[in-house]
Amino acid sequence: MPIILWKIIVFHFTAIPAVSWCFLNDVNPEENLDIPAIAKYFSTKGRYEEVNPHLIEDILAVNTSILQPPSAQCREIHLTAIIRHGTRYPTTKNVKKMQKLYDLVRGSAPAKDSWLRELQTQWTMWYTEDMDGRLVQKGVNDHRHLAVRLSKLFPSLISEKNLRGGLIKFITSSKHRCVNSTLSFKAGLTELWTITDQEFEHAVNDALMRFFDQCTRFVEEVDNNPSAMTELDKFREGAEMKRVEEKIADRLGVEYSLITDDMAEAAFYLCAYEFAIKTVNSPWCRLFDVVDAQVMEYANDLKQYWKRGYGYDINSKSSCILFHDLFSRLDNTVSENQLGQPVTEAVTVQVGHAETLLPLLTLLGFFNDSDALTSTNYATQTQRSFRTSHMLPYAANLLFVLYDCGGGDLRLQPLLNEKPVMFPGLTDQKASMPLYQDVKKHYRDLLQGCDFETECQLFKSPA
């Protein structure tokens, strides 16, 4: 696939009515009435600040003490950052669902509760189908601020000198929300260093950042196959979801038959989008209590588990191309470093989607619970590690930092959402920053195999 280079410097956004972009000053969400009580269950529609609540008080705060190399000699020589786009508008498909719910609420009997009267008489349906997943101003800020925080966390790598010298490379999905997120990340750095005399290119590469579209076996066997989502379908028709729908109907004062699983999802999304985009605790959120939100979160997790996670082997194998791209770059950096040559790519910033990150996280073995998520084990999965609200908020990021600790001691530290994580299966005391060779040994089967073309053939030949 051809790689397209861009030097776009203009942003285009749809206007948002009456929005304030101020950040909240209270770091305790439980005590802040401007934050919905259910905000931490919004799955892939959640704010990055719910994953890192300290950012509510100071959006540029970093804690450098989280980086603890095994010796003072260690120095960072490369960073790859794989980042989800920032906060966006709902897609056309979800706007249509929201419109149906809004019409139902507007057309129902006049409400006694003030919050419901507000939905019926004051709240207007301002989401339009042409918004279709575009980046919002909050999404611009997500990436501008992330760029500044990462420059504070890794100042020797994300530096003005490296940016001006072409040692920081930018790659993005072709989707407008990803291109604009990439532009926003770059703007965060150029504004930080007041760079006005130079522009910085980025490459559009869907083969890497939207690999799932080009993996035929994934598209046919999972993405376009309704039967692949059987567990999700059964859960949406099950007792837990039915109870949520009945409680919504009771709160709205309408017949149970009028609230479908799509209506419940639309209500949940309205609460989530109003908060993520406008920082508003909307009356839509009154349709759910915490128990309901946990059920909705599980439904979203089921979808992600079976469509992008551990549900089917091809979900993770579709990311083989991104996996090899990562390790090829790390190997190249190691080679240059061992030869005493300057590193030619100090930082690589790759901007994609939740659907880019989750298959790679799965391929690497992160958040793999002992029991699969199914339609029947909701009650026993309350402590599951596979929770997309924690893993994949807007602007979620998976970082790989390569360290040279002297004497050929090369180490690799992974971080998720700016917090160190441990490679699954590497359990020694220095597992948060294991030897690079140990990481390669751990993933040797994938490094020797995991061929994108072979894995993505519709009919794989038997081994």
Handedness of CA 202, 206, 211, 213 (dihedral sign): positive
**How many degrees, rounded to 5, is the angle at CA 392 between CA 387 and CA 394?**
140
Cα distance between residue 147 and residue 25, in whole Å: 21
Residues 6+ away with beta carbon under 8 Å from 106? 120
List the one residue out of 337, 357, 429, 344 whose CA is nearest residue 400: 357
Q: Is 340 left (phi over 0), alpha (psi -120 to 50) or beta?
A: left
d(CA 313, CA 309): 8
The C-alpha atoms of residue 424 and residue 443 are separated, in whole angstroms, by 10
Tell me whether residue 353 is one of the annotated catalytic residues: no
| Cα–Cα distance for residue pair 103/197, rounded to 1 Å | 51
In the DSSP assignment, the letter for residue 108 is S
Helix H or strand E segment including 349: strand 347-352
What is the C-alpha to C-alpha distance for residues 204 and 186, in angstroms, rounded to an integer? 15
393 touches 51 (CB < 8 A): yes
Q: What b/e readout covers 315-343, taking b as 16+ CB neighbours within 10 angstroms? A: bbbbbbbbbbbbbebbeebbebbeeeeeb
- Strand runs labelled E in 195-245: 202-204
Classify 95 as helix, strand or coil.
helix
Q: Which one from 85, 143, 145, 353 is the annotated catalytic residue?
A: 85
Cα(231)–Cα(44) distance, integer angstroms = 19
Three state DSSP letters for 111-166: CCCHHHHHHHHCCCCCCCHHHCCCECHHHHHHHHHHHHHHHHHCCCCCCHHHHHCC
Residue 292: alpha-carbon gap to chain centroid: 23
CA dist 399 → 2, 3, 177, 201, 434 (Å): 26, 23, 20, 21, 15
In this structure, are strands 410-416 and 419-420 parallel, antiparallel, or unpaired? Answer: antiparallel
Q: Distance (Å, rounded) from C-alpha 353 to C-alpha 397? A: 10
Cite the DSSP H helix spans in 308-451: 313-317, 320-338, 354-363, 388-391, 436-442, 444-448
Catalytic machinery residues: 85
